[in-house]
A and B are shown apart, each in its own frame.
Chain A
């Protein structure tokens, strides 16, 4: 294994991405320490989702470095390889397997040998059942385990997707707008869920909902036009004049 070059779990340095001349990311640098939960906010088009695309291998950066654990260069890897290194991603729009049951959704996500040969001969074990049971409890989905995921309420789908993310046992979770479309009660429960997950995993949350970010009570990075505008506690960044200008218009 190559030696570590940084203590950060996720390290982005000078990352730029352009789409047809539009600079979605502009010399973006960001470091997330192991065990941290980081909230990333920013107005529409600030590059939040593009940043996630770069980290998960969906988009190749034009320039810059992206390292996991200070030793894995992510820029040359594809989605599958990056997922295997331990990065899980929740999409903005909840994406679950609609014609599978809740239980099977978790089963498919559960950390296991992903090769076709192995899945063909795979057999369920008591250990797997127990792990799925724990995930169902954590995401409060035990009562609907046999239901098709397509029939779940919106909030439940979001939790199922978070549950699937956990099932992968990733080092790093990238969570894109987890509370979009949720009720206040569901949002509060999601804050609890994320805090619980953060006890043993590093999380990056992208969110629009400022009340939610305040409830998370973690370090915040504000993106604007593809680079970092401000970083610090929610109180610090929300009193930053540049941030106020960007958010409230000039």
Chain B
């Protein structure tokens, strides 16, 4: 139990997971770029783009698991933070287009020229610099989460009520971003990206680099979350999830703890969105749709909340299933499948895939806990709060 929190953070499964991510981050791009297409070991560009997208979803799922699985905050609006991060990156890439746009305006993106705007709105300034945009990617969602959380947690809004207002938040942002005069391209959003840091976003090399960057970010995010949940702060979070009032009577300022993880989680979601946008080539207000946020919660529930690895696995599995389903004749039934999946997991596997496996594994071994990490999700089988 003693030792640096940074070392204590990883158990054996965690190390294996990180090694696996490192291998994927190297092998997949190499398999695409160096292995000739005729070889059975060749990884197609389609695969790289598709899984790069899933990895971004996995980072979002990780962010949700940190607050929901460990602190009991069920956010049904995390898609908003993801989309805001995406917009920040999109704004950078819009500014990179320059004179290559349809209207060849060196300063204004096409949609502004089309709307007859003469000047760049003040909030678009600075986005021509990557470093500034990269900062905004985490800062904007983080700031919104901080302000939102400050009010919500201080007023002790919890449970279903909090979930509902997070839904309202993402819905309100969606309506705002749909408007042309908001200055983010209205319902078309931002698209037609040309390059990022001077590299063509369409090229196989850039796509591979984005894939690797996403996987590395996922690894860092996982490590960060792990370090947090293995620390004493992590134990306080679990305590808040299980008996919030008790924590308060012990003298902890519950709202500070919630605010800390909620803000951090929003920053992570923003970074996920920023990695997502260059890989899919577009960001528009539909990313704020309430359904997206709910879907992300389902990934976590399916994989197993309070397990971190489960969130990653859930995001990738559910999205893979979605891709498979929606590209076949069964496409119209996907939402039924998704809904059915959520009901089935809630009823049959309340701990999710990884949670159930962990529980089964622990049941076979000695009854005591193996490392400093609390076996989260053991109690509290309720699907929401």
In the complex, whether A7 has a CB less than 8 A from a CB of chain B is: no
Decide if B249 touches A56 in the complex (CB within 8 Å): yes
Bound Cα distance from A150 to B378, whole angstroms: 9
When each residue 62-85 of chain A gets 1 if its CB lies under 8 Å from chain B and 0 otherwise, what string results? 000000000000000001100110
Choose one: A80, A104, A107, A123; the contact of B251 (CB below 8 Å): A80
Residue with the highest number of chain A CB atoms closer than 10 Å, among B253, B375, B376 = B253
Decide if A83 touches B376 in the complex (CB within 8 Å): no
Choose one: A98, A121, A147; the contact of B242 (CB below 8 Å): A98
Q: How far is the CB of B76 from chain A (nearest CB, A)?
A: 24
Bound Cα distance from A240 to B110, whole angstroms: 89
When each residue 224-259 of chain B gets 1 if its CB lies under 8 Å from chain A and 0 otherwise, what string results? 000010011101101100110111111111101100
Some 20 contacts from A to B, beta carbons below 8 A apart, are: A79-B249, A80-B252, A83-B251, A84-B251, A95-B243, A96-B243, A97-B239, A97-B246, A99-B242, A99-B374, A99-B377, A100-B242, A101-B369, A107-B235, A108-B236, A114-B250, A115-B256, A122-B5, A148-B375, A168-B251
Decide if B367 touches A108 in the complex (CB within 8 Å): no
Q: How far is the CB of B253 from chain A (nearest CB, A)?
A: 5
Decide if A100 touches B248 in the complex (CB within 8 Å): no
Residue with the highest number of chain A CB atoms closer than 10 Å, among B3, B4, B374 = B374
Interface residues of B in 326-385 (CB under 8 A from A): 367-369, 374-380
Bound Cα distance from A98 to B374, whole angstroms: 11
- Could you list which residues of chain B lie within 8 angstroms of chain A, going by C-beta atoms? 1-5, 228, 231-233, 235-236, 238-239, 242-243, 245-254, 256-257, 260, 367-369, 374-380
What residues of chain B lie closer than 8 Å to A56, measured between beta carbons? 249
In the complex, whether A124 has a CB less than 8 A from a CB of chain B is: yes
Bound Cα distance from A125 to B236, whole angstroms: 18
What residues of chain B lie closer than 8 Å to A89, measured between beta carbons? 249
When each residue 97-123 of chain A gets 1 if its CB lies under 8 Å from chain B and 0 otherwise, what string results? 111110010011100001110011111
In the complex, whether A163 has a CB less than 8 A from a CB of chain B is: no
- Could you list which residues of chain A lie within 8 angstroms of chain B, going by C-beta atoms? 56, 79-80, 83-84, 88-89, 91, 95-101, 104, 107-109, 114-116, 119-124, 146-148, 150, 164, 168
Bound Cα distance from A100 to B248, whole angstroms: 17
Q: Which residue of chain B is the closest to A78 with respect to CB atoms?
A: B248
Bound Cα distance from A104 to B248, whole angstroms: 16
Decide if B232 touches A120 in the complex (CB within 8 Å): yes
Q: How far is the CB of A122 from chain B (nearest CB, A)?
A: 4
Residue with the highest number of chain B CB atoms closer than 10 Å, among A88, A119, A122, A168 = A119
What residues of chain B lie closer than 8 Å to A148, measured between beta carbons? 375, 378-379
Q: Which residue of chain A is the closest to B240 with respect to CB atoms?
A: A97
Q: Which residue of chain A is the closest to B255 with respect to CB atoms?
A: A80
What residues of chain B lie closer than 8 Å to A91, measured between beta carbons? 246
What residues of chain B lie closer than 8 Å to A97, measured between beta carbons? 238-239, 242-243, 246
What residues of chain A lie closer than 8 Å to B247, measured between beta carbons? 108
Residue with the highest number of chain B CB atoms closer than 10 Å, among A80, A96, A109 = A80
What residues of chain B lie closer than 8 Å to A101, measured between beta carbons? 369, 374
Bound Cα distance from A88 to B249, whole angstroms: 7
4 nearest interchain CB pairs?
A: A83-B251, A146-B368, A122-B232, A119-B233
What residues of chain B lie closer than 8 Å to A109, measured between beta carbons? 250
Bound Cα distance from A122 to B248, whole angstroms: 19
Bound Cα distance from A147 to B374, whole angstroms: 11
A99-B374, A99-B375, A104-B235 known; A114 and B245 CB under 8 Å? no
Decide if B257 touches A108 in the complex (CB within 8 Å): no
Decide if A150 touches B379 in the complex (CB within 8 Å): yes
Bound Cα distance from A79 to B379, whole angstroms: 26
Bound Cα distance from A104 to B254, whole angstroms: 18
Decide if B4 touches A123 in the complex (CB within 8 Å): yes
Bound Cα distance from A115 to B376, whole angstroms: 22
Decide if B379 touches A80 in the complex (CB within 8 Å): no
Q: Which residue of chain B is the closest to A146 with respect to CB atoms?
A: B368
Bound Cα distance from A181 to B233, whole angstroms: 33
What residues of chain B lie closer than 8 Å to A83, measured between beta carbons? 248-251
- Extra contacts besides A79-B248, A99-B377 (5): CB < 8 Å: A80-B251, A99-B378, A119-B236, A120-B232, A122-B231
